[in-house]
Structure 1
């Protein structure tokens, strides 16, 4: 099944969350993709906030308030969802594809099918949903880390006041776009990884091929989706 087909089947299979084994797989996915990845995302977010503000405020001569507003626009609109998706792709998509390919190679998928267990509801849907939620939440954590770092660099001990003023002028559409991108990118990453994992595993050499293919295709999908967002926002 294609990545789009897996994504649609996952969305249709959400009622299966009423079963404990499915929720257990979802919680494991949230822990792996979300909680374990949080320190890495916060570190990169802090670094990005400091670098962008330094370039705008100290080298280009932009005012402190203007630098922070521009940082918020760039981070919420592009950097936070894109970099979060890239980091999660590099960290999680290969692992997800390898796991499913190994399950096929060892005959676990066949055994589950013979027992009447739906592969899509038990294995694919929790992974897609978990990545969607993790990517959406981590995108906001990334943006928050960047903005707090930028505010501290610009205003020092008055960083809280700067963030308060920024929250009043930041358009709600920017926040909605950030959330939409994070959730969409997460769903695409997981769908591509699951599709590549389920398509591989026919031999031992298929496992690393499925992992590398998942990373490459997920990155291409994320960039293509970001281009679609830009076209819809500015040209539709």
Structure 2
């Protein structure tokens, strides 16, 4: 019973924070809040993009090489798997996990350090809400940055995968590119946009909840960071499973299908 009550309070806290962020989006037009937004976007985007290039190209190459050599598939089928994996599943998940590991931890640590130093109390004494000044721009920055990071990863994974695979296999770049553009659709792009924004919003909410101590208990910096990482990953995987089930009627990459 106590565990159920704690779980309910946790979900209620996230919903309340999300509602506050939506209600106060207009504050992004205020100079200091906009400055926090731009600083967070720079911190999140630069830190994540700098570590993405080689990994993204490697993922695309491995997918095409595996389906071609191990599964003995033709190039058209290999590109089909590339579209499904990079655009719909692995791409958005890989990008948001990189975001959590490289940027989510840094922001959670920064917010927890501000709390421990008493900077949040200073804001309250000046009549400034930490939710308005910090949570709103942080959640928006996470959502926008994750969208950019995801498209960046997909571009490098698809482009690098096709280029390197064409060099390693007896297939032309034009042939692989033709197969890709024939299979990719606007729906795949829309699916990526919705999923990436959803992932970023969830990570932003979790980071703010634990970094600012809104989840209760006033956790110290190491606890705030570890809880942010673990709960962000759980939230992202849960959202991914539910979204895939609602859109495609599948769970666990097609192992479970809707009746």
- Structure 1: runs of 5 or more not aligned: none
Q: Which stretch has the larger CA shift, 26-35 or 158-167?
A: 158-167
State TM-score, norm by structure 2.
0.84
In structure 1, which of residues 158, 175, 199 is the aligned counterpart of residue 189 of structure 2?
175
After TM superposition, the structure 1 = structure 2 runs for residues 148-227 of structure 1, keeping only pairs within 5 Å, are 148-156=159-167, 158-159=172-173, 162-199=176-213, 206-227=220-241
Q: CA shift at 1:202, angstroms?
A: 7.5
Alpha-carbon distance in structure 1 between the residues aligned to 2:184 and 2:245: 22
Q: CA shift at 1:163, angstroms?
A: 2.6
- Structure 2: runs of 5 or more not aligned: 1-11, 250-257
Q: Can you list the C-alpha shifts for 1:17-58, whole angstroms capped at 9, x where unaligned?
A: 111111111111111111231121222211111111110112
> How many equivalent pairs are there?
235
**Is 1:62 paired with 2:73?**
yes
Contact 2:143 2:197 in 1 (8 A): yes
Q: CA shift at 1:158, angstroms?
A: 4.2
Q: Hey, what does 2:42 align to over in structure 1?
A: 31
Structure 1 or 2: larger helix share? 1
Partner secondary structure for residue 2 of structure 1: helix
**Is 1:43 paired with 2:54?**
yes
Alpha-carbon distance in structure 1 between the residues aligned to 2:108 and 2:15: 16
Q: CA shift at 1:99, angstroms?
A: 1.5
Q: CA 1:160/1:28 → structure 2, altered by over 3 Å: closer, same or farther?
A: farther
Partner secondary structure for residue 50 of structure 2: helix
Q: CA RMSD in A?
A: 2.1
Q: Can you list the C-alpha shifts for 1:58-85, whole angstroms capped at 9, x where unaligned?
A: 2211111221122011111101110111
Q: CA shift at 1:106, angstroms?
A: 1.3
State TM-score, norm by structure 1.
0.92
Alpha-carbon distance in structure 1 between the residues aligned to 2:206 and 2:234: 10
In structure 1, which of residues 99, 110, 118 is the aligned counterpart of residue 129 of structure 2?
118
4+ runs of 1 displaced by more than 3 Å? 153-158, 200-203
In structure 2, which of residues 98, 115, 125 is the aligned counterpart of residue 87 of structure 1?
98
Structure showing greater relative contact order (alpha-carbon pairs closer than 8 Å, 6 or more residues apart): 1
Q: Hey, what does 1:229 align to over in structure 2?
A: 243
Partner secondary structure for residue 116 of structure 1: coil
